Structure formats: structure tokens, C-alpha cells
Structure 1
Amino acid sequence: MGDPKPHFLSGAYRAVWRWHFYAGLLVLPVLCLMALTGALYLFKDEIDAAVYRPWEQIEAGPAWASPDRWTAAASVGAGGRVVNVRVPDRPDRAVRLTVRRPDGEQRTAFVNPYDSQYLGSTRYGDLTEIIKRTHSLAIIGPWANLLVEIVAGWALILVATGMFLWWPRKREAGVLTVRGTPPSGRPFWRDVHAVTGLYAGAVIAFLVVTGMPWSAVWGDRVLALIRETGTGRPAAPAASPWLHADHADAPAGVGWTMEGAALHGGPDSSHGAGGLATVLAAVDAEALPRPFTVTIPTDPTLAYTVAREIRQVEDTRTLYIGADGGLRADIRYDQFGVGAKAFDWGVAVHQGTQYGWLNRYLMLGGCIAVWLLAVSGLVMWWKRRPKGRVGAPAAPPGPRIRAAVLVIVLPLAIIYPMTGASLVVALALDRLGRLIRRRLAPA
């Protein structure tokens, strides 16, 4: 009898190829959108500098005016309440304030810190906020987090099945290098697709996993596990437990670990007692490096939150200061648990800030690779598709062979519940489609 192994590998290969094809069909359009917006967001600082230059560039003066005059000028000029203030690190830059209007709209206002002159305002976040909301799919509605998790899980399935398909199996050509030059036919595009996936697969998988802290199901489960194991945010000061700030009082710029965390301002807290000037004097006394963002809570019993704007997570520092200027807490990265450290580090690397320009351009390479994989996959499909048909790889017979796919897919479906649910739907649709085709086939 002949060795059954080659037959099994051939069937397993076809089964994996089929699911790789459908996974790409399902998520590559969304992944391309996320890769494009993610690549743009890597250059957030440069984009903000270009957009805000008309208002932010000022002439340095001898001394700042009272910070309370900044907020008064922004409130009148932009027509709302100041919710946070970004204090710049350069003397020739305006103070940037976020103003919430009575109708809920937010504006980014600019005030000259030397004479408190209102310089103008623009829509909150402007271009980079639109890029960020598009990247997270929040622009499509409140259920976007569910879609992000589904897409992320299927993206990992694409990477895993792609590595299975790339495995040489005694094939030497097109494994590490690309044969031919465009447009030399399907082998060239197959090699571009395979070799790009080989070199960029780990970066793409990293981007997918580190982009998941805010996902609906998986993110909540991991966050709960970190809290239960005591590996998240540090313990609150003995005098006050951590409070969860509602949307209006959510601290800005504090990162994933301290997101939504608030503290009581103290027994004598009253925002009318000292105001922003008192708080900034306390920040200066604590020698917090600029730039930093001060969140002004609507609830007068809560402390102000002051978050340092960082590039590397090791520099994380958040101060909680009462309106009387009293320091309620000074939270730093070395106080985080191992789970929180890992997540914040992952987010910083994901955003391309942790390791300087090399980090940024490595993440940019991953974003470009997603597009190259999508384009080469589309060209391959176009060249091989039967005329007038979708041209998906045929389903191989036998449950044993189809089980090869489940070995790859099931662990990811378990880790990402929404991906698992979508997998069940995909299997049902696949089964239904085969039954329909069988019934319609001529006898």
C-alpha cells in the first residue's frame, strides 16, 4: 500500500487554503482600512503640528499669566466648559484646551499663556481624532468593539493559516525570495504574497494582539483577570479608594491602566478655592516634566488628574491633586502590576513610540505589508479564478482532513469569543452553501 501521508497533506493543504481564502475575503478590506489609518496615526505628532500651527505658534514672553485666565478666555471664546488643559513643553507654543459646549460638541481651543489671549478653536482632535476613530472603527457606532475583536481573531487565523501554506514541503523556489519580476504571472505574485507574509507575519500578529485591550469581550475578560490577580493598577491611597470616573470626568492622557480611575479631592476640596492656578503650582512643586494634561472634573469632590505626555512607558506618571493643591497620589510605572505593565508596553510599541524611530518604522512596515498582502492576494485570485465564478478553493472530502483547519482555528476561536461565534456562523454558511450546490447539481 502507498504512503497515505502525501494524500493527507494535500487534503489538509486544500482545507487550510480554503479557509485562508475566506478569512482574507472577510477581513482584508477592514484590515486595509485599519492599516492605512494606523500608518497615519504613527505620525500623529507631525499631523497635529501641521494642523494646529496657525493657532499654536506664538512668540515667547517673559512670564505666564494666571492659568485661571486661560480657562476663562477659552470658555468665552469657544462657548463652553474647559474639561482639560495641555501645558506645552516649549515657550513658543500656545496652551491647548478642550472645551465642551452645552450641546455636547467638543472644541480644541488655543490660548496664549503669556497674555491669556484667545487664539481660536477647531473641532476636537481634528484630523488625528478622525483617523483614530476610523482606526478603531468607533466611527461606525457603539458596536464597533465587537467588530474589532472579530476582525482581529480572523487576522490571526490569516497569519496562522498563511504560515501553514508557506511551509516549504521540499519546495525551494519562492520560499525566502521572490521569483521573476512583475508582471511575470501568478508565481511572482504568489511569491510576493508568501514572502511578505513570512517577514511581516510576526509584526502583523503583534499589531493585532496589542490593539485588543479595548475590545468588547476579550478585552473585558483580560482586564477582569488582571484585576482579580492583582497585577493591574496599584493600590489606591489609604485615605481614598479608586473611583470610576464617568464619561464627563474621564481623565485624559492617563493610558490604559489608569483609564477611568479617579480619586476624591480631599475633605476640603472645592474647585472654587484655588482653581487651575493652585493645581499647576502643586504640579511644579512635584517637578512633573512637560508636556502634561490636566483634567478638570465636573464633580467638585474629585481630584484633578495630571498626566505626563510620554513616549516610553517607563516615564509614565500621573498626579492626583485636590483643588486646595494637596497631592492625593503620585502614580508611576514601577508601581504597576506585571499585567498592566505588559499591556501599557504593548500599546506604546503598537503606537510606535516606545523605541524611537526604529519602532515607528517597523510598525509602518507592518501596515504596508497588510496592503501588499491584500493586493498580491487579489491579483493571484484574479489570475486563477474560473470565468464567471468566485474561484474559491474546493472543499476537500473527509472530516479528518477538515480537522486540520480546526487545529489551527479552534485555539484562536476560544481565545477570542467573538471570532469563535463568527466561525460557527461561517461553518454553518459553508455547510448550507454546499447543500444548496448539491441540490442544484444535475443528476
Structure 2
Amino acid sequence: MTSSSPPPLSDAFRAVWRWHFFAGLIVLPFLMLMALTGGLYLYKAEIEGLAYGRMAAVEVGETRVSADQWQSAAEQAVGGTAAAVVVPDRPDRAVQVRVRTDQGERTAFVDPYTGTVAGTVGGQGLMEVVKKLHSLELFGKPFNILVEIVAGWAIILVATGLFLWWPRRGRDVAVALPRPGDPARRPFWRNAHAVTGLYAGGIILFLALTGMPWSAVWGDKFLNVMRESGLGRPPAPAAASPWSHGKDHNAPSGTGWTMEHAVLHVPTEGPGILSRVIATADAGGMGLPYTVSIPADPSLAFTVSRVTRQAEDARSLYVDGMTGQVVADLRWDQFGTGARAFEWGIAVHQGMQYGEINRLIMLLGCIGIWVLGISGGLMAWKRRPRGSGLSAPPKPTDPRARAAVLGIVVPLGIVFPLTGLSLLAALGLEAAWRRLRPRN
């Protein structure tokens, strides 16, 4: 009589399973936080409308006061210096003026018809806090390094998860559809985990890859390579000073990933005139809404950047504030191949490029991460030995089986250096644990 029990797990399967378990245990809490904040940020406009509706709504008048009055009113209300102005795309919406103070930035909502300030909020508002929480910058700049590590390990989780899901001879057929079951039992959550990972894995992989430009190390290095190679930032226009990298208060807002921090010098002295810059933008057909970045350095050009939803609508004007002359007019067709790819990826990442269907797919990816985290945690809890805490999957009997894992993670560790360093740290900790743990 033959046994109906499945064959024993291979050493390669055991090795991948252990790494999948430990990677999920360490990374999923961060991924779940980023999924929650990312899901909220997909609905930025709606949330801000609920939070600031009264301050943002204005009564439409016959004529608007000058933009310089907007700036003056905001600076007096907050007690600082204007850094940027967001001109809305609706006549019944307030102008938003970001003002720098010694305590940080505040945003003032200014009625464009009367020049009165309806109210102010800290920084750039509630969703800026959500954004910084999403990038982990809220905990301090060094924590942004974790974005690259978490994104790298998210890719590893998807790759090892696919390896574990793949059907094998003599074992259960891979789960592709939800199965009925008892939520009190582990198979129910195993099936939920497998089905969710199968369909959400591609979205999670895309989110991880397109989130890399925001990472502190890989993102900055790759951005510099793109600029220097000509695949990113457009070349400097004729008769203009070369591009330079704006620091601190001179970095323009809303220019997109490719032109982030890019500034142009202009041969002028003294402060610029906001009204003149806005008149130039309107005359040049700059689509609404747009952001006017006011440089702290008077020798720099004002930057007017369209607030876009689709990457190909990107446009930035660099304007001499004293004369109103356009120093550079940058559009999508001037972007390099690499810049286009990354700007497109970021627009899709933020759920904007393809309308509501794009946003819903990204939201499903965020929900999928939570389902994976909850189901994975319950699976581990239910398979633990009675009366003990979480226990790792069985380790392989043959140490050489680790090659199955290394074949997946080493290439990723090379492409994403911080992920590679975290991999070495994990291997070191595992080796130290084997040596220090008590032997029976």
C-alpha cells in the first residue's frame, strides 16, 4: 500500500522558505506602513478637500488683485518669506503660498480676488506629513535609507514567493483561485496568502522598482548618472548659464524627478517681481495649476512648473524675475529616454497616469500588501509549536541548498547596494546565531 502523503520538502525549498519567512518578518511592517500611507496619498486631492475645504474655497470675483499682494498678505500673516505659490486651476479656489519661517514652512490660503488670508497650515499640509511618513523622512533623513532596503527586500519577497508558489511534482497544485475554508485553520490563510501574492505580486514589484528614485543612496546616484549621461535633464538652453544644483531654499518645487533641484542663473540683481513672472507664465500658455518657485538667491531664475497628472504634460519655465524674459522652456519632448521612463513610472506609481483605473490598481496593490502581511503573520502564528512563540520554517539539511536563495538575492544585492549590504548583515547574523546558540 502506497502512502498518499506528499514527498518531503527539498532542501532548496526549505532554504527559500526560511529566507522568505525572515524577509517578511523584518520588511512587512515597513511595507504595510508604506502601503497605508501610499494608499492615502492616492486620494490626496479628496483628503485635502475635506481637511481644508473652507480655507480653500473662495467666492469668485470680477478681478484679481496682483500676485505681489498675495505674496505680501501671506508673508505678513505667517511672518516669513514666500518660497512658492500654487496657482489653482479653478476660479473658486484659493491661491496657496508657502512661506519660510525660522520654525519651518507654513502654507497660507489667500483669496486671489481680495488678497485676504483665510487660514494657514503647517508645512505643506496634512498630505505632506503622509508623504514624509511614506518615505520614512518623518523619522529623520537617515531613515530614508530604509526605503531602498525595504524596496529591495520587497522584490526578494516577490521572487521567493513565486518560487514557493510554483507547482512541484507530487505536491499540491499551485493555488490560483480562492478556496473555501475555515479561517481558524492555517490552510485558509496559506491559500489567501498565495492567491493574493500571485495577483498583487506584479503590482508590488512595480511599486518597489518605481519607488527607488526616492531612496537616499541609489536614487541620488542614479539621478546623477541620468543627468550626466544626457538621458535625464535636458541640455542647457542657448545663451543661458549652465544648469546648477540648487541647495536648501533654492531648489524649485514641482519640477518632477528629472529636474529636481535644477536651477538656472540669470544676469540680474535685486529681488524679482512675482506678478511679472505669473504674467509671463500665463502669456506663455502654461497650463493650470502650476507652482511658482521663488528663489532665495536673487541671481537665480524663477521656476514655473505645471502640476501634472500625466508625465507627458510636464513643463517648466525658467523666468528672469526682473525682465519677465523666459530663460528656458522645458517640455516632455526635451527629456531624455531615461527621464521619460522614470517620470512615467512615478506618475503610474502615484496613480495618475491612466486615470481612475490606474489609481484603483495601485490601491489594490496597497491592500494586497496588508492582506499578505496579515495572512503571513497568521500562518506563522498557527504553525508555531504549541506553547511557544513564532518558529522559523525548517532549515535545509544540506548547506549547499543556500545557493537557491543566493541565486535570487545576490543579483538584486548588486543592483541595489544597500539591499546587498543588508543581505551580508543577515548572513552574518545567521552565522553568528549558529555559533552562539546552545547545542543539545
User: Does 1:427 find its partner at 2:432?
Assistant: no
Q: 1:172 Cα shift? A: 5.1
User: Does 1:392 find its partner at 2:404?
Assistant: no
1:51-130 superposed matches below 5 A? 51-101=51-101, 103-130=102-129
Aligned position for 1:15 = 15
Aligned position for 2:144 = 145
Q: Secondary structure at the match of 1:213?
A: helix
How far, CA to CA, are the matches of 1:118 and 1:382 in structure 2?
55
Q: 1:122 Cα shift? A: 1.3
How far, CA to CA, are the matches of 1:350 and 1:325 in structure 2?
35
Amino acid at match of 2:404: A
Aligned position for 2:258 = 257
1:210-221 superposed matches below 5 A? 210-221=210-221
Q: 1:277 Cα shift? A: 1.0
Deviations 1:370-393 (A, max 9, x none): 000011111111111013143101
How far, CA to CA, are the matches of 1:226 and 1:282 in structure 2?
30
Aligned position for 2:43 = 43
Aligned position for 2:410 = 410
CA contact (8 A) 1:233 1:337 kept: yes
How far, CA to CA, are the matches of 2:302 and 2:133 in structure 1?
30
Q: Secondary structure at the match of 2:318?
A: strand
Deviations 1:155-189 (A, max 9, x none): 11111100000001144555111222341511111
How far, CA to CA, are the matches of 2:172 and 2:390 in structure 1?
30
Aligned position for 1:279 = 277
How far, CA to CA, are the matches of 2:76 and 2:120 in structure 1?
11
Q: 1:110 Cα shift? A: 1.2
Aligned position for 2:310 = 312
Q: 1:269 Cα shift? A: 5.0
Q: Which moved more, 1:237-246 or 1:37-46?
A: 237-246
Q: 1:271 Cα shift? A: 2.3
Q: Secondary structure at the match of 2:10?
A: helix
How far, CA to CA, are the matches of 1:112 and 1:402 in structure 2?
64
Aligned position for 1:179 = 179
Q: Secondary structure at the match of 1:294?
A: strand
Runs of 4+ with deviation above 6 angstroms: 6-9
Q: Secondary structure at the match of 2:84?
A: strand
| Equivalent residue pairs, number | 431
User: Does 1:296 find its partner at 2:294?
Assistant: yes
Aligned position for 1:355 = 354
How far, CA to CA, are the matches of 2:189 and 2:412 in structure 1?
28
Amino acid at match of 1:76: Q
Deviations 1:19-56 (A, max 9, x none): 00000011011110000000000001111111121211
CA contact (8 A) 1:174 1:195 kept: no
Aligned position for 1:3 = none
Q: 1:220 Cα shift? A: 2.7
Amino acid at match of 1:145: N
Q: Secondary structure at the match of 1:342?
A: helix
Deviations 1:53-97 (A, max 9, x none): 121111100111111111111111111111111111111111110
Aligned position for 2:382 = 383
Deviations 1:309-352 (A, max 9, x none): 10001100000000110000000111000011111111100000
Q: Secondary structure at the match of 1:330?
A: strand
How far, CA to CA, are the matches of 1:411 and 1:363 in structure 2?
27
Amino acid at match of 1:315: D
User: Does 1:243 find its partner at 2:217?
Assistant: no
Pair 1:389–1:441, CA change in 2 (3 A): farther
Cα RMSD for the two superposed structures: 1.6
How far, CA to CA, are the matches of 1:7 and 1:418 in structure 2?
38
User: So what's the TM-score if we normalise by structure 1?
Assistant: 0.94
Amino acid at match of 1:220: D
Pair 1:412–1:25, CA change in 2 (3 A): same
User: Does 1:227 find its partner at 2:227?
Assistant: yes
Q: 1:259 Cα shift? A: 0.3
Amino acid at match of 1:261: A
CA contact (8 A) 1:218 1:415 kept: no
How far, CA to CA, are the matches of 2:235 and 2:165 in structure 1?
48
CA contact (8 A) 1:385 1:391 kept: yes
Q: Which moved more, 1:76-85 or 1:110-119?
A: 110-119
CA contact (8 A) 2:85 2:98 kept: yes
Q: 1:233 Cα shift? A: 0.9
Q: 1:436 Cα shift? A: 2.3
Amino acid at match of 1:244: H
Deviations 1:279-313 (A, max 9, x none): 11111110111110101111111110000010001
Q: Secondary structure at the match of 1:212?
A: helix
Amino acid at match of 2:24: G
Gaps of 5+ in 2: 1-5
Q: Which moved more, 1:380-389 or 1:355-364?
A: 380-389
CA contact (8 A) 1:174 1:191 kept: no
Aligned position for 1:339 = 338
Q: Secondary structure at the match of 2:97?
A: strand
Deviations 1:108-166 (A, max 9, x none): 10111112112221112221011001000001112122111111111111111000000
Q: Secondary structure at the match of 1:109?
A: strand
Amino acid at match of 1:253: G
How far, CA to CA, are the matches of 2:111 and 2:227 in structure 1?
42
Deviations 1:341-373 (A, max 9, x none): 111111100000000000001000000000000
Aligned position for 1:159 = 158
Deviations 1:183-221 (A, max 9, x none): 151111111101110101010010011011021222133
How far, CA to CA, are the matches of 2:224 and 2:54 in structure 1?
44
CA contact (8 A) 1:8 1:401 kept: no
How far, CA to CA, are the matches of 1:7 and 1:183 in structure 2?
26
Q: Secondary structure at the match of 1:320?
A: strand
Q: 1:229 Cα shift? A: 2.5
Q: Secondary structure at the match of 1:82?
A: strand
CA contact (8 A) 1:107 1:124 kept: yes
